[in-house]
Amino acid sequence: MNELNTVTQQETAYNDEDIKTLDWMEHIRRRPGMYIGKLGDGTYADDGIYVLLKEVLDNSIDEYMMGYGKKIEVTVQDGIITVRDYGRGIPLGKVVDVSSKMNTGAKYDSKAFKKSVGLNGVGIKAVNALSTFFQITAFRDGESKRVVYDRAVIREESEIVPAGDSNGTLICFQPDREIFKGYEYKDEFIETLLKNYVYLNSGLTIHFNDKKFFSRNGLVDLLNEYMTSEALYPAIHLKGEDIEVVITHSNQYGEEYYSFVNGQHTTQGGTHLSAFRETVGRVIKEYYNKNFEYSDIRAGIVAAVSIKVEEPVFESQTKTKLGSRDISPNGSTVAKFISDFIKKELDNYLHKNPDTSDTLLRKIQDAEKERKAIAGVTKLARERAKKANLHNKKLRDCRTHLNEAKGESREDTSIFITEGDSASGSITKSRDPNLQAVFSLRGKPLNCFGLTKKIVYENEEFNLLQAALNIEDGLEGLRYNKVIIATDADVDGMHIRLLLITFFLQFFPDLIKGGHVYILQTPLFRVRNKQRTWYCYTDEERQNAIREAGRNPEITRFKGLGEISPDEFKHFIGKDIRLDPVSMKKEDSVKDMLEFYMGKNTMQRQVFIIDNLVIEEDIA
């Protein structure tokens, strides 16, 4: 026993040499997630390479918001990003400080940057530390200064020299491929980012490669860009000092919001969105002087809110959720600021626009009528879901207390929706129980196209799935950031995917529009010889693996998730997980799309299938 204690003490020795101090650049490189969220390779819009671009752009946007520079130029070529703004330009004597000294910047002084996104002096320093090439050039009053870095180490620094360029800042950088492995920028994600910037800053022009982005109508243009259902009435557009709001309704289920703070897209909402939702419901209820339920008032709402806050407090460095309760140093709260504005402006608008208020009233009454029609079913369904959750074999939840010390957060949580005992068993044994939950379907779900929300509560599968996700009252309660459909890659599996996507589009479209729904990609083939194993997701990968493996390799085709052992499954749902996001574009009409794929237009669908049929070669 004493021998065992001696060994344990030796293994857990804690001495002076265990205490280390990392310089700022090494800390960023060792813990990049603390500064830019997840890393990724550019496959998803929230991957780190886009956060790097955003950190640079935020500084240019802040210049525009302060009244300097109406144009920003962005280029992406061969993995190198260039951003040129025409603001005031960094003071030439401070170019090195602002790009390579932590906690250095002008934004601590609210006189220079009153309502800025970045306030902690980290932004471009993180970009610098995570790039193998980072060049910053400041142009100011006919002079310029340039500094070139490699992973935040200065490689070249010019003197201040005369220059004929307009005032502003030019930044070029190339993300480090040791950190962002195999990355590739996707234009679609960059364009979405740039569109949001111009919607929030009417009059600003952003050039991206050969495209130009500009908005005259601000958040109205944003709603027109992202809405996939027809608006029931012209958008209510309200603008005031430090606040802009757009509101309309459609005949879709759920609530759909786009919220921003100082130009930052707060995808996770926060105090401002909570105040906005509550106030809109209360003001409309008071306007009609009827005892409407808030859920009926907000049913089908599509809205955007943008506010400007002095020294905002976000819940993470990636700034996706506002934590501020005060809106300015004098103690005025976010809730009061939004409440006072909407109470006055929305009430006035409804009085002045009776056509809009009449249409809105009919929409609320329709929602109330449907809710009351299914009230009994809803109550029983909630009780069933609560009882089921106590002894729920369908849901194998992840642990609710996440390990923040390991960098885990609710943004990292996911739930796999799968079908069948063998598939759910493999995933359950392979998953990370801290962050990954599993929901097991029993057979194929119902085709819910054209049905009312009553079906959500009457159908046990849908009722329990809704309860597991906690989305009955909107996305604010969503328990998992990623909802992953994990089905076999055969005809039945594809059908189950389609039925689940139909369910989400029909009743919870905001789940898809919010970027929360994904399809799990698992390998179709395994090729192996005595030295190595290849997992292949396409036939092309299989052919390459066979060539590389040499003579007579063993080739296995996975016909279902249940055929993949838990030990193998760990590779496919871990850090190298492959997910295809389920997304919607402006031109996608939910109603038309569901009618075509899930409706009764049999002949149209048959022609489409025949025209797009691909015969897959079978393998032995």
pLDDT in tens, 314-363: 665 555 666 656 655 445 688 888 999 999 999 999 999 999 999 999 99
Q: Please choose, from the candidates 345, 198, 204, 348, the residue with its C-alpha nearest in 3D space to the C-alpha of residue 260.
A: 198
Query: What is the SS3 assignment for 427?
Result: helix
User: Counting every residue, how long is the chain?
Assistant: 620
Q: Is the pTM above the cut of 0.85?
A: no
Please determine, for residue 548, whether its predicted confidence score (pLDDT) is greater than 70: yes
List CB contacts of 184: < 8 A, sequence separation 6 or more.
41, 42, 79
> pLDDT tier at 81 (50, 70, 90 boundaries)?
very high
Q: What is residue 215's predicted lDDT score, i.e. its pLDDT? A: 93
pLDDT at 615 over 80: no
User: Which residue from 199, 104, 99 is spatially nearest to 152, judged by alpha carbons?
Assistant: 99
pLDDT tens per residue across span 470-493: 888 778 788 898 999 998 877 788
pLDDT more than 70, % of the chain: 80
Report CA Rg, the chain: 27
Higher pLDDT, 521 or 18: 521
Conformational region of residue 341, where left means phi above 0, alpha means psi within -120 to 50, and beta covers everything else: alpha
Residue-level pLDDT at 613: 52
Mean pLDDT score, 233-239: 95
Nearest alpha carbon to residue 68 among 145, 135, 166 = 166
**Quick one: pLDDT band at residue 408, thresholds 50, 70, 90?**
low
> What are the E-state strand segments in 458-613?
482-486, 517-521, 525-528, 533-536, 554-557, 578-581
In this structure, are strands 395-396 and 414-419 parallel, antiparallel, or unpaired?
unpaired
Between residues 38 and 612, which one has the greater pLDDT?
38
Higher pLDDT residue, 114 or 269?
269
C-alpha pair distances (Å), 461 with each of 51, 390, 396, 501: 38, 16, 15, 14
Mean pLDDT of the chain: 82
Q: Rounded to an integer, what is the distance from CA 532 to the centroid of its chain?
A: 37
Tell me, what DSSP letter sits at residue 217? S
Per DSSP bridges, beta strands 554-557 and 131-140 are: unpaired
Q: Which of 244-248, 329-333, 509-513 has the lowest mean pLDDT?
A: 329-333
Helices and strands (H and E) in the chain: how many: 22, 23
| pLDDT recorded at residue 584 | 74
DSSP code of 493?
H
CB atoms within 10 A of CB 478: 20
Q: Tokens 């920028």: give the residue.
A: 185
Model confidence band, residue 264 (pLDDT cutoffs 50, 70, 90): confident
Token pair 């038309």: residue? 592
Do the bridges between strand 256-261 and strand 301-307 make them parallel or antiparallel, or are there none, so unpaired?
parallel
Tokens of 376: 């009994």
Q: Which two tokens stand for residue 558?
A: 């996975």
262 φψ region: left (φ > 0), alpha (ψ -120 to 50), beta (else):
left
Q: What is the DSSP letter of 93?
A: G
Bridge partners (DSSP) of residue 419 are 441
> What are the structural domains of the chain?
27-214 (3.30.565.10), 219-372 (3.30.230.10), 375-522+558-611 (3.40.50.670)
The pLDDT of 178-200, averaged and rounded, is 91
Burial class (CB in 10 A: 0-12, 13-18, 19+), 260: buried
pLDDT, one tens digit per residue, over 98-140 is 888 764 444 434 443 345 554 444 678 889 989 999 999 999 9
Three-state SS for 165?
coil
- Confidence (pLDDT) at 24: 65
CA distance 542 to 21: 47
Measured torsion, CA atoms of residues 175, 177, 179, 184, in degrees rounded to the nearest 10:
70
- Does residue 434 surpass a pLDDT of 70? yes
Per-residue DSSP letter, 405: G
Classify residue 270 by its DSSP letter: B
Buried b (16+ CB within 10 A) or exposed e, 52-65: bbbbbbbbbbbbbb
In this model, does residue 462 exceed pLDDT 50?
yes
Higher pLDDT pick, 7 / 166:
166
Residue 19 predicted with pLDDT over 50: no
Asked if residue 519 has pLDDT above 70, the reply is yes
Nearest to 278 by CA among 351, 343, 322: 343
* Maximum average pLDDT range among 107-111, 382-386, 609-613: 382-386
Mind listing the pLDDT tens digit for each residue in 576-605?
A: 788 888 887 665 555 665 665 566 655 565
Tell me which DSSP letter residue 326 carries. Answer: B
Q: How many alpha carbons fall within 13 Å on the CB side of residue 144?
A: 16
Q: 């951003």: which residue's tokens?
A: 83
Of 265, 226, 222, give the one whose Cα is nearest residue 246.
Answer: 222
